[in-house]
């Protein structure tokens, strides 16, 4: 859990709001709770969550990760729905606990 806490704090820029038997993390307005669970199967393909950001915040985070934490990148940045209202850049990261994080940067985030 310590490595995951450091990942969310140092790589993703999250705040740590509680530490005890579990850790609460504030990630861009979303709370994530980390608990020890040795029985979880992180190889399941649908075990992920996403973060939606304005494109400028996405680019700041992507630069930081690419520069100093590239080992966590699972899928590099790519553009989705180019030329539409939903155009966005996205990337997948793998956190130390094995979860995939889908980070999306929207040209126009409403």
All domains of the chain in start order, with CATH: 2-106 (3.10.180.10)
Q: Tens digit of pLDDT per residue, the chain (110 long)?
A: 888 899 999 999 999 988 888 899 999 888 888 888 777 766 665 667 888 999 999 999 999 999 988 888 888 899 999 998 889 999 999 888 777 888 999 987 76
DSSP state of 7: I
- With beta carbons less than 8 A apart as the criterion, state whether 73 and 96 touch: no
The pTM of the full predicted model, rounded to 2 decimals, is 0.74
Residue-level length of the chain: 110
């Amino acid at each position: 859990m310590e490595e995951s806490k450091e990942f969310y704090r140092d790589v993703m820029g999250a705040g740590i709001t509680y530490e005890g038997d579990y850790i609460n993390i504030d990630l861009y307005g979303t709370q994530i709770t980390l608990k020890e669970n040795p029985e979880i199967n992180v190889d399941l393909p649908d075990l992920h969550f996403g973060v939606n950001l304005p494109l400028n915040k996405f680019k700041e985070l992507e630069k930081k990760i690419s520069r100093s934490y590239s080992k966590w990148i699972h899928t590099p940045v790519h553009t989705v729905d180019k030329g539409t209202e939903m155009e966005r850049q996205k990337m997948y990261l793998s956190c130390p606990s094995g979860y995939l994080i889908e980070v999306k940067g929207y040209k126009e985030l409403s």
